Amino acid sequence: MIFVLTGAGLSAESGLGTFRDAGGLWSRYDLEEVATPRGFAANPHLVHDFYNARRANAAGAAPNAAHHALARLQAAREVMLVTQNVDDLLERAGARDVLHMHGRLGGALCADCGARWEAPLVMSPDDPCPECGAAATRPDVVWFGEMPTGLDEIDAGLARATLFVALGTSGTVYPAAGFVEMARAAGTPTLELNLEPSGGRFDDGRYGPASEIVPGWVD
Ligand code: BV8
């Protein structure tokens, strides 16, 4: 089983911003204000503006050759696709069972009762929860300080993977950034696919734009 962890670099060539590259999202927004529970409590409208802008950007974007290559890989081999990305470009490229460990732009969550539903393109904190009616609507994404999704499934996948691939991620955010070390500890070969080396410890690496190196690796 091939375990693939993807990050913002997978969707960069589809026009979705990365976080830490020059001009990235964290250079234009204060992470504390838009990607933490505290930031949401302080200014829910600013947080919704941030995610509404990204949701509109993602809706207007198209999967690139790397997304399609991963969908082809999944059709040919046993692949566990774990993404830190909140866009749905992998699904739109035909990938299945994508594990969004940091949540999804397309998801809405009630901060009061925990109900989840499919998000409209534009969300507001005043949208009433369809379950409890509270005006406590938030994006269903994992903010800093919150528990990522699917960690048990991820641990089980890392334990039985025959190859670990990190694709388009800077290896900055934990626990995702620690997966390569978990793979190494399990004796699993590790491969990095990125624009440039991220500094993580990988047995092998292929470097260049994802839309070129991912099809090259898959096909
Ligand atoms: C948690 C929300 C407890 C959704 C995001 C000190 C040490 C260890 C941990 C911590 C610490 N201090 C604080 C922490 C915890 C914290 C953390 O890691 N902080 C960091 C900053 C130090 N982590 C958390 O809070 C996490 N929760 O720890 O809970 C816990 C822990 C374990 C078990 C149980 C409980 C929650 C983290 C989730 C935060 N939410 N986003 C959203 O708005 O999108 S993080 C955000 O960063 C996104 O999710 C993003 O996916 C993620 C990682 O970024 P990357 O995807 O790697 O993107 P980046 O821009 O950084 O890099 C782009 C890469 O692409 C580069 O390598 C570049 O070269 C490459 N690239 C660019 N163009 C291309 C390309 N590659 C190929 N082709 C191209 N064309």
- Judge if 206 and 163 occupy the same domain: yes
| Whole-number pLDDT of residue 24 | 83
pTM for this prediction: 0.96
CA-CA distance, 208 to 190, in Å (whole number)? 17
The residue whose CA has the least distance to atom 22 of ligand 1 is 173
Which atom of ligand 1 is closest in space to residue 151's alpha carbon? 33
Q: Token pair 């990190």 is at which residue? A: 166
Ligand 1 neighbourhood includes 207 CB (under 6 angstroms): no
Ligand 1 neighbourhood includes 13 CB (under 6 angstroms): yes
- Judge if 94 and 198 occupy the same domain: yes
Q: Residue 219 in contact with residue 72, Cβ under 8 Å?
A: yes
Q: Can 100 be counted among the known catalytic residues?
A: no
- Judge if 27 and 12 occupy the same domain: no
- Maximum pairwise Cα distance, the chain: 52
Q: Is 164 left (phi over 0), alpha (psi -120 to 50) or beta?
A: beta
- Judge if 24 and 44 occupy the same domain: yes
| Whole-number pLDDT of residue 26 | 80
| Whole-number pLDDT of residue 83 | 98
State whether the Cα torsion 83-87-91-93 is positive or negative.
negative
- Judge if 153 and 178 occupy the same domain: yes
- Judge if 218 and 111 occupy the same domain: no
Q: What are phi and psi of 168, to 5 degrees?
A: 65, 40
Residue 18 has pLDDT above 90, yes or no: no
CATH number of the domain enclosing 169:
3.40.50.1220
Ligand 1 neighbourhood includes 195 CB (under 6 angstroms): yes
CATH number of the domain enclosing 31:
3.30.1600.10
- Judge if 24 and 96 occupy the same domain: no
The residue whose CA has the least distance to atom 58 of ligand 1 is 8
- Judge if 71 and 174 occupy the same domain: yes
Residues spanned by the domain of 175: 1-16+63-102+147-219
One-letter amino acid for residue 41 of the chain? A
Looking at this predicted complex, what is its ipTM? 0.93
